[in-house]
Structure 1
């Protein structure tokens, strides 16, 4: 199976697990909605996130990198806004969801044998 399909499916699965764990996040459309949200998340992470990282670099340095969690939460909020299947009830669920999503994605990618350098 091509690498991008594996990454897409693992991201969708990580979203489902994250929504199950974090109150305030919902995927009313089930796994199909997670697949769409994973595409939107990939787009946000590849376009908007790098711009935000550059613009907030001084704040990130002062906070010793903790501000990156805020940037990830903004990404989750954007996915909730642009994706028809993911609903986000506010900033705090997005912040907790971004942390949980990072952990779950890391675990799933590790279990699937995906190398972080190849992504």
Structure 2
């Protein structure tokens, strides 16, 4: 399938975010975490400056590469994510990715200040 090849290439360029979606938010993620926010506090807020910078760069890329809601939703399914932003958070996948991008940008600013 042409879409599978496209999504494979996109996932390869965003390995940290793919891991977040597929590993932390696997199909039974709710057995390991009480809620989405707990995962984000652990994986984003608890991450180093360079890790947040990597997430930021990957999210910038993904928001360009996945320009529509439909394509973003397909990507979440392709990587095997058990998270459905619409069902679990009441927002679209792209809206959630924009919020995550803003969050890691804020984390970068805070952690850069702490290092300085």
TM-score (normalised: structure 2): 0.40
